[in-house]
Chain A
Amino acid sequence: DIQMTQSPSTLSASVGDRVTITCRASQSVTSWLAWYQQKPGKAPKLLIYKASRLERGVPSRFSGSGSGTDFTLTISGLQPDDFATYYCQQYKSYLYSFGQGTKLEFK
């Protein structure tokens, strides 16, 4: 099974900051990688798919990059609504796997 490792586990930032979250796969997933945002008590929301494609309706301050085993999610100009937990997920294998999550909190 493919293992997904995210870093950092927690990230402290302020409104307006630019932040980057990384995700590493234990083997190549080419570009079959998605990023989700989750707020407490809510289902995850799809932000990015195919490593870098923005889901409809997601603000352009979110961007994704990478291929193979190394990926990043960048949020440029943090807004108050962005403080949440973020997960990466590979879907190259039918045996889906998620990263352990990155909690983005107020500094």
Chain B
Amino acid sequence: QVTLKESGPVLVKPTETLTLTCTVSGFSLNHATMGVSWIRQPPGKALEWLAHIFSSDEKSYRTSLKRRLTISRDTSKSQVVLTMTNMDPVDTGTYYCVRISEVFQDGFWSGYYLPDYWGQGTPVTVSS
């Protein structure tokens, strides 16, 4: 059974750094066709993808937040960590950890990754 569980502070102050941890089970972070993403959702607003990390340790970041984000993993602990610096009230929202899986199509691995399992999300409020 695949599960992802987010953990981290509920409240952070403006200018502080947020560190969120995603602990996964039911699959390996070393699996060649899987990765993990972070996606957030401000209250009452749409979903926003933030970052990916793949089994190769390749990383991708949201263009507008690239300078503030770092994604990393500890395969021995089955954990993926997201840090976001210089937090602002607009960063308030629910942060989701999501497994992404490469799509197998027409007999080959496509190179495209689909989000297929989501954590329950963790709320983060930025306020002094």
* Interface set, chain A 11-50, CB cutoff 8 A to B: 32, 34, 36, 43-46, 49-50
Q: Knowing A98-B46, A101-B46 touch, does A32 contact B120 (C-beta < 8 A)?
A: no
| Chain B residues within CB distance 8 Å of chain A | 37, 39, 46-49, 52, 60, 62-63, 96, 103, 105, 112-116, 118-121
Q: Which of A49, A92, A100 contacts B46 (CB 8 A)?
A: A100
A-B contact count (CB 8 A): 50
Taken together as a complex, chains A and B put the C-alpha atoms of A79 and B102 apart, in Å, by 32
Q: Could you tell me if B115 and A89 are in contact, using CB atoms closer than 8 angstroms? A: yes
Number of A residues whose C-beta is below 8 Å from B?
22
Residue of B37, B62, B116, B118 with most chain A CB atoms under a 10 A cut-off: B118
Q: Which of A34, A50, A95, A99 contacts B115 (CB 8 A)?
A: A34
A96 to chain B, nearest CB (A): 4
Q: Could you tell me if B63 and A50 are in contact, using CB atoms closer than 8 angstroms? A: no
